[in-house]
Amino acid sequence: MHRFGRSVQKKANDRWGGVFILAVVLAVVGAWQLGGVLGNLLGEEKPAAMEPVPGMEDVSGISGTSGSTVQVSIVPRPFQVHFVQVGAFRSEGAARNLVSELAGQQVVAAMTPRNDMGLVKVYVGPFMSGEEADEVLDVMRETGVAPNAFTVAMDVDYAPEAVMAMTGSANPDLQTGLDALNNYLYEAGAWFAKRAAGEPADGGLLVALGQEMRQAAAKLAAGEESPAITKFMGLADMATVNAADIEVAASAAPGSEEFQRAMNGYVSLLEQYHNFYAPDAANE
């Protein structure tokens, strides 16, 4: 235990909770076959106090599992979701095995869709600030557990005017849908960040945002088609499925199949959203 020194203990007492850091280190130690070095610490450590996750401080009137009325306040914004990349594989099976090892230690991890280079990446996270992601990365590097890990910031752009240019005119239903989709990505990231830190999180707001997108998509389906509208409708479908998965995962353990399905769906949605706003999206 001594070789990990004070740095791990110092971070274990940090403001966003020590158990998650220790769980990450323990899980990745297992992945690199260094085995149970932090097992005793992980079993004894108690969660530290948490500051509110941005955007989730006051959700009065919002519910999914509790049954009360959901009040939706849509505030679209550009933002970043941060991850720590711990692996990249040509084999989906190898990536899935690493995710399973991490999940077995109740560490939130996810596989990305296979990229243009044929790689399936594995992320630990998400985090709603780069500082939080850097803290986990520092532990991995200081302990030598994952010296090649690095942080990844996924930009979640918000440029509705660019999408409207694809359609050739402003469309209020598409605007509403884009607002809800952007807000969904933010709130879902905050939901996973809270659960990763061991805090309870309600998926009712996400379900309500999914309903907003579904309603916007239904109106768009009755109108003229365009590449932008078709792409949005596909994203809306992904988001509503993901919201339903998160609602199920709200009462499931982070290492469960239900939770893993929700996390993988969120990362896939982020990737597709990024492609939606790519400069050449209008030409696809």
- Segment 192-210, tens digit of pLDDT: 888 877 788 888 889 899 8
67 or 87: whose pLDDT is higher? 87
Average pLDDT on 153-171 reads 85
pLDDT (mean) for 181-192: 93
Percentage of the chain modeled with pLDDT above 90:
30
> Based on C-alpha coordinates, what's the Rg of the chain?
19
**pLDDT at position 163:** 84
pLDDT of residue 69: 53
Mean pLDDT of the chain: 73
What is the percentage of the chain residues whose pLDDT exceeds 70?
A: 69
**Mean pLDDT within 255-278:** 86
Q: Which of 56-60, 96-100, 278-282 has the lowest mean pLDDT?
A: 56-60
**The pTM of the whole model exceeds 0.75:** no
Question: When comparing pLDDT for 77 and 69, which is higher?
Answer: 77
Model pLDDT, residue 196: 73
Per-residue pLDDT of 100-115, as tens digits, reads 877 776 667 788 888 8
Residue 262 pLDDT class (50, 70, 90 cuts): very high
Predicted confidence (pLDDT) at residue 38 exceeds the cutoff of 60: no
Which one is predicted more confidently, 27 or 240?
Answer: 240
Residue predicted with more confidence, 23 or 240: 240
For the domain spanning 2-51+79-154, the CATH number is 3.30.70.1070
Predicted confidence at residue 22, as pLDDT, reads 41
Q: What are the tens digits of pLDDT across the range 126-140? A: 899 999 999 988 987
When pLDDT is averaged across residues 25-45 and rounded to a whole number, the result is 31
CA–CA distance, 135 with 203 (Å, rounded to integer)? 27
Domain ranges of the chain: 2-51+79-154, 158-283
**DSSP string for residues in the chain:** -GGGHHHHHHHHTSTT-HHHHHHHHHHHHHHTT--STTHHHHHH--PPP-PPPTT-S--TT--SSS-PPP--------EEEEEEEEEEES-HHHHHHHHHHHHHTT--EEEPPP-TTS-EEEEEEEESSHHHHHHHHHHHHHHTS-TT-EEEEEEE---HHHHHHHHTS--HHHHHHHHHHHHHHHHHHHHHHHHHTT-----HHHHHHHHHHHHHHHHHHTS---HHHHHHHHHHHHHHHHHHHHHHHTTS-TTSHHHHHHHHHHHHHHHHHHHHTSTTGGG-
- Predicted pLDDT at 1: 30
Q: Which of 2-11, 106-115, 147-156 has the lowest mean pLDDT?
A: 2-11
- Alpha-carbon span 119 to 102, nearest angstrom: 19
pLDDT at 20 over 50: no
pLDDT in the model for residue 34: 26
User: What integer is the mean pLDDT of 225-246?
Assistant: 91
